[in-house]
Structure 1
């Protein structure tokens, strides 16, 4: 009897390759045993062991994963994680270009960083990992998370611009709370005469363009990191964040594990789904296990548009999309396909913080559109938009944008987004009257402003919002009216709401355009 070794969970495609049987033959043999499977399904160890013994006369044994990546030649205690942050065009990417001797900006559309990228160099027996972070406020959520999990924060300020002391104080507080170290680099000193008005702790005057003082900064990074005495954390479950995900010819995801370990055969558990890990790459080498803290890659596995994950042993579905809204009655439906995970997260946060009443983003996906994406847009009357790719990819695309900023400006300008709530009036429910078998009328009094039947309303119980919607009828002395004014009594009915309580407050409001972000 032949023997094979597999992980706790195995793909059918991988199993067929190991036992050297065509996939179609494998599926047929199980079908005749009353078992229906598909080629992309996963099988657990016990089930695989049983069917291989009964049908193929093969003994299946569990693969014992080596617990270490230290054999790869990297001492993980020497891994230093450095966030390079600052405002747009202050020299963050130029700083990394000088350190890594790589041309980075030429590959960024609009010559603006829109994607969190990682770069690695060895210096003074340390493995330095740089997070090149975007500078625009649309990426604030992603920026804060990367900074929060870094050992060293390098904040780059252009001496041509005013100093944001509020931002510096925020970074100082993060470094204190997270046992990390803040270094402030005052850039572009080759263009302007240096004066003595700056007095920050761990301060350097640099020129990212010429490389002036950058080597001194890196040496200071090493010295300060040695004072932190960072230790390897083997605690389970492991915890980490997605750094980036790009889908070109294949999907490549870059992840950072800052606690515990991750192995093939484990699962990345996100907020709404879990993803099976069938491959790991560390320092461009395929491995079975990665020990924190470390940056690693997963290939040909689509991750959700999320940031945090835990590492567990669970089984769930795999997707690469956010389905944000399913209300197809909106006037305009958008279907977005973006270049990277960072762009997807920034758009999602932007969309969730908008106040609007006439647009609907149905999906955000990473990668270029395929035939099924065009069919979806056609069937559900969606406008397909590409963000972060080269222009003129496909004539069926409604709009293409080089940068996420171009997209948000387009939305703000053309679709009355970024609206502000203006309260027009308030009602208090004084009585509740039965109206029909399933409906009630709320007897109300206007305590502020006026109420118009066309305006939107929110119903509050103390500070908790119970419902948002519209008034269907307003009655005053058995007469249907459209408006009711301060201190007047009326009876109202609200569309799709019937759970009135005495004392509830009803706020009537309109949405008004404010200045774009």
Structure 2
């Protein structure tokens, strides 16, 4: 069935040309010569362009009163915001067991539709089997003007689905854009249901000082020599290998120890389960040993120490253990908790024991992943290959990566056209904890970027563009020093202030460390993740970036090249010349971490005079202020016969026909409550508001 455009235009009091323009704005194609519209589109256009009618036709008086008391647009926004908060959640409170059973049976009968984080109106219509015009109409009812090609988020889709009586669920494979940008793997993997998880191999990061034998140990383990092909005997790229011991797989990352590769090491520690700290028995603890140790500690992963080169005449295992104990790693055989295994990469002595210790610690960690979802992986290393173009070594964190999957990795996107395992063999799929080399990306990604499978190339391209925009917006331009940290404090995302501390001399370093350690509170803390003497370098910045902390400098310089690294890594650097100023600023930052005290402030009392409207989701009441005042957005306790029977928040306040922020003693007002409440005429409402009282150390 169809309706004439001329009749619709006449009914709306506009010209046919204006009507066709409005139809185009709504996302529907209409030819200039068109004479008719489909019924559904016609009804949608009429409902949008004609004066809105009351929804409850059966109760004209109530609807009229409702419109007189409240501004319809404000009401629409309030309903929309409330429903967004509740959309998709089961209302399980105050139900009888029988009602719970009926609800579950009803849900079982409904088909659950899986919806991604972002979906176009057209795709939503196709997935749900509902006409696009009807969906656009429902969006309009909720104050959202969208055409058929525009995208809506999951929360909006949940509201529309609820209106249409549909049951939808968010795809767990969809990772939040903010999480992709942050690189926080733990946040990304939280969405997996425990029932979907199965055991996976451990991922091991081999760390330590340059030339202490990390690659030699790996070389012995996998029985293949790669050192001869590396420049200067120092590993140029992070390698990822998988070996088998007693039928169990172990994945190794060889994290370069040279100072030039500190950035890769910082990224590597974030993606691993266990750190193997290699220390030469004849050289002992070196600055990069301490740095690698701090990376692992800050990442919160177990450390196993491999004391290498025990075949050397000058080897002294006990001396190495003593040095490590001074830095907080107490050997297990000395009563501590750190496993330390003497090994020789030259003779192979102790290597089997090292592997057994890895499997033992892995078993205690209870490592699991979901192989039956789309993959999430970490980019370990990437480079430009003359034949394949951009090539990346990636480590599968969860899910299964398949050939021809569409992916996004940081600001890169593409389709997996080539996938090889660590032996160079072409494979079609890779399960959790498996390292693979892939080709098919638009450009070379960064080490530490999160790779995620998406539904198509269009979505991959969109995500990459969005992440690039976030990165540009998240830089230093236009920001004052410390503002990023302050923003994270304000959002409640930070409870421990992590610091990389650099000073001009050892005496200053010790004095500042002692002063910072004396700032104590049970809720918040300062954690010095690394400290040293000398100017701020790239390694310091990368460590702060990896931990989400900041760099503090005392009487030291920030070289221009290092400053560029701070901008790229979005790291705050604070420099001081006076100790008390440094300590005072740290106290101020910690004060911001403290949870504020919530204080109740009594405003007044009102009496309920009239119940104007009581719907399923909201109530409108008329009141008189007995004493004090009533404020919009304040809270109220319902008092009946001297007993508090409920509480609510005022969502809208009116005096006669005017929206107001407060009404004082002796005046009457209209209150809207956006939930079903047990309220009767004659009830007393005790009005109060809650304020945050900020505390200090």
* Structure-2-length-normalised TM-score: 0.33
Structure with the greater relative contact order (CA < 8 A, sep ≥ 6): 1 or 2? 1
More helix by share: 2
TM-score w.r.t. length of structure 1: 0.44
The answer to which structure has the higher strand fraction is 1
